[in-house]
Chains A and B, each alone.
Chain A
Amino acid sequence: MKTFIDRFLWAEKAIYPLATFRVVFGLLMAVSTARFMYLGWIDLHFVDTKFQFKYFGFEWVKLLPPFWMHFLHWVLLVSAILVALGLFYRVAIVILFFVFTYLELIDSTYYLNHYYFMSLVAGLMMFIPANRWFSLDVLRGLKVKSQTTNAWHINILKFQILILYCYAGLAKINEPWLLEALPLKIWLPASDKIPLLGSFFAHPMTPYVFSWTGMLYDTFIVFFLMYRPTRLVAYFAVIVFHSVVGILFQIGVFPVVMMGITLIFFSDSWHLRWQNLVRSFGSSQVEVEDKLNSKENFSKEHFHLPSSISPLSRKLATGLLLFYIAFQLLFPWRYLLHPGSLFWREEGYRFSWRVMLMEKAGTATFFVKDGKTGREGVVDNREFLNPHQEKQMAFQPDMILQYAHFLGNYYHQKGVENPEVRVEAYVTLNAKPSQLLIDPSVDLMNIKDGWLRKGWLLSLTEEFPD
């Protein structure tokens, strides 16, 4: 075990896949940011907003004035491009991580597993010298060139991709997904007007085929990508799968993201080949990498200690990396600590790679009562939330509670004394008739959110007995 860990983390490996990953990651971040800005989402998400939903433990993250929200997106764009170029890499990736993560933490309405993934990767990249090869830092002599790197610099990224896919696949092993083809049975017919493929999506068998394919694909694809004989076929599957999913659903840049980052699984020589190709366009004098060009010297992964790192820091780094790996492996399972239907209660739902697993929607009506006069009023959610926020809030218990507290405080300032806030939240799961999520007689002002079981939720009847 010890030697395995040593090899997995500290073996010397060719740096080429890492360099490609850096370029691709930087470009994807840049494109994603530019698209976000172009679509006017800065204003929509961060400027024209009266209330933001917070992540538990990150309530202190606050919105900045509009100018700074726009400015930060430009900073993000520039730092992403610098990361791709490998210019002032360390500074750029640190800025990228903090700015991107800050923007993600502002409003949990916009939580997406892929953004969480991007944030984790950026966080890891801060500690990885991905600019030691194929970078402007090397070209300008800011960084010593190296054709090798510690194995963990690449393996930790591969591990993160494995977790993303495999856990997304495992999450699909549930009754509705596999046996009823839900929610795909609802979503696919809605795409029956797509040219060429439309009638195929509308076929009653298609949701079952898609559900099972999706589950198998997500669970196993990384293993097929890692295994050389199946790699090419697997990557072809990556392209087809994400293209189809991209046509079907509004998921923005993520299909391209997945196609880009899975390139890391290709062989060292493949990476070197395209890097040399680019370089040959860039300068007349092609560097001849004869030592490595011919064979994949490092596929054997001969094990030796990098001289630059002291035994103590290596031990420390090993410990931290193992802790990170353990956290990534275990954290998504925390829902097991909560009895009851995960899909209904969403205790431990986020940060667990549950992607497109269910069709859920709700109508949440809030009532605010003046504790003194007893007069009760009905809230118009549109007064405080944009449609996206209202939609997400209406079926997620922690968001309902946050919004209830916001309403209580807001109307308290408006002169309502000792406000009591109740909600009538009807939620529909996989298009089954809607049910009450929360007891409508409970005063939400008396309830605090936390890691513990949300005892104030009503159970789901039928479907998944709670």
Chain B
Amino acid sequence: MKKLLPLVLIFIMACQPDKTPENQVDFDRTVFLQSYADDFIRPAYQSLKEELVELSNAISNRKEAQAQWKEVYFAFLKVTPYNFGPAEEDVLVKSLTEEIATFPVDITLIQEKIQKNNFQFEDFRRDSRGLLTLEYLLFNDEAWNLNGREEYAQKCLEDILERVSEVDSRWENYKNEFILNDGTSAGSSTSALYNEFVKSFEGLKNFKIGLPLGLRPGQTSAVQSNVEARFSGYSLDFAKQHFETLVSIWNGSPQKGFKAYLNSVEGGEALILSAEEQIQAVQGAFQACDSSDFSESNLDQNPNLIILHTELQKLTRFFKSDMSSLLGIAITYSSGDGD
């Protein structure tokens, strides 16, 4: 073995030159994580909190409340991909997104709870609380005129604010842990951030577009009740925002985000090119859609939304497998053994 070693080394040297791409730079995952924490995640939670506080001031004026609710939801869409750490599921509490943005909501249940002055927001009936319950209460005429609606809305909003504040304040301490956990294996911050990014992307495609469109196997028609934000009619704006949030995570801060990370590895540039081409195709498909595409009469077999779904589908592999392979990021949550 010893005799072989010099030979091997010579061989390796001979193989080495011009293999390293010129643009290959050292990439620092600590800076990467710090940037996501400081430039994206923490500001996003803080802004959601502020928008929620503003909504509580406007809650009794319907017009103002509706306008502010929209701002809140936009702010929410900027935190929804960060369902890890303080926002992740923990025994009885589901992830923040599930706790405050479950849809469709159960109208009958909400009405019943209002009637009975039942302000129970801790149970598993997440379809009677959260942002989309508020939407129903603010935008649906019948709901607006319900006796006791205002108090229910107020309590519902308090519950949301409490949950968001909790996550926000826990991030204060978690941030250090997040930045220090700078490996790439299962359980690392990079793996968590990446996996939730992919999950959020698939959630957008499957639950906000595919399912309401009736694109699941066995579905025989569209399901308008499964449309996100169906009472306010902002479904398209929100889907667009959700996608743009994901694109902003993909981009990251200059030189510090996923894109820069990809640029630092061999083959990363090619993936960026393919992915960005497809991102533009998705954005084009969004442009071609109209808010009315999500309405009851237009939803079934809606050609614009089907194209949108297809374009999102085409983007999936770049985010889901090509990216994790290139970066060597673990794509499972629990560390199964390899060999």
Contact = CB atoms under 8 A, between A and B. Distances in A.
Contacts of B320: 363
A394 B294 CA distance: 32
Interface stretch (A179-187, A311-319, A457-465): A179-187
Contact of B317 (A113, A204, A416, A434): A434
Interface stretch (A58-66, A132-140, A407-415): A407-415
A395 to B, nearest CB: 8
A434 B274 CA distance: 11
Contact of B339 (A113, A190, A194, A411): A113
B1 A426 contact: no
A208 B330 CA distance: 22
B325 A426 contact: no
Contact of B328 (A187, A224, A367, A424): A187
Interface string A242-255: 00000001111110
A40 B334 CA distance: 10
A416 B329 CA distance: 38
Contacts of B338: 112, 249-251, 356
Interface in B1-40: 1, 4, 8-9, 11-12, 15-16, 19-20, 26, 29-30
Given A44-B334, A208-B12, A193 B29 contact: yes
B270 A388 contact: no
A380 B201 CA distance: 12
A433 B16 contact: no
Q: Range of interface residues on chain A?
A: 35 or more
A388 B336 contact: yes
A387 B274 CA distance: 25
B271 A433 contact: yes
Given A186-B326, A186-B328, A251 B339 contact: yes
A362 B325 CA distance: 9
A185 B266 contact: yes
A431 B219 contact: no
B8 A212 contact: yes
B316 A365 contact: yes
Given A356-B338, A382-B202, A431-B325, A189 B8 contact: no
Contacts of B316: 363, 365
Interface in A200-242: 202, 204-205, 208-209, 212, 216, 220, 224
Contacts of B4: 216
Contacts of B214: 377
A427 B183 CA distance: 25
Nearest to A179: B15
A192 B334 CA distance: 21
A206 B8 CA distance: 13
Contact of B186 (A204, A205, A250, A395): A250
Given A186-B265, A191-B183, A387-B333, A433 B220 contact: no
A112 B12 contact: no
Contact of B215 (A191, A204, A208, A377): A377
A380 B327 contact: no
Contacts of A204: 16, 19-20
Contacts of B183: 190-191, 193-194
B326 A431 contact: yes
A359 B217 contact: no
A193 B30 contact: yes
B184 interface: yes
Interface in A425-448: 426-428, 430-434
B336 A189 contact: no
Contacts of B328: 186-187, 189-190, 359
A51 to B, nearest CB: 15
B12 A387 contact: no
A376 to B, nearest CB: 8
B339 A428 contact: no
Contact of B334 (A212, A361, A373, A388): A388
B172 interface: no
Interface string B189-228: 0000001000000100010001000111111100000000
A100 B267 CA distance: 41
Interface of B: 1, 4, 8-9, 11-12, 15-16, 19-20, 26, 29-30, 182-186, 195, 202, 206, 210, 214-220, 265-267, 270-271, 274, 309, 313, 316-317, 320-322, 324-339
18 contacts: A110-B336, A180-B19, A189-B328, A205-B12, A212-B8, A249-B338, A250-B338, A252-B337, A361-B322, A361-B331, A373-B220, A376-B217, A380-B202, A391-B331, A427-B321, A431-B322, A431-B326, A433-B322
Interface of A: 39-41, 44, 110, 112-115, 179-180, 185-187, 189-194, 202, 204-205, 208-209, 212, 216, 220, 224, 249-254, 355-356, 359-363, 365, 367-368, 373, 375-380, 382, 387-388, 391, 394-395, 407, 411, 414-416, 419, 424, 426-428, 430-434
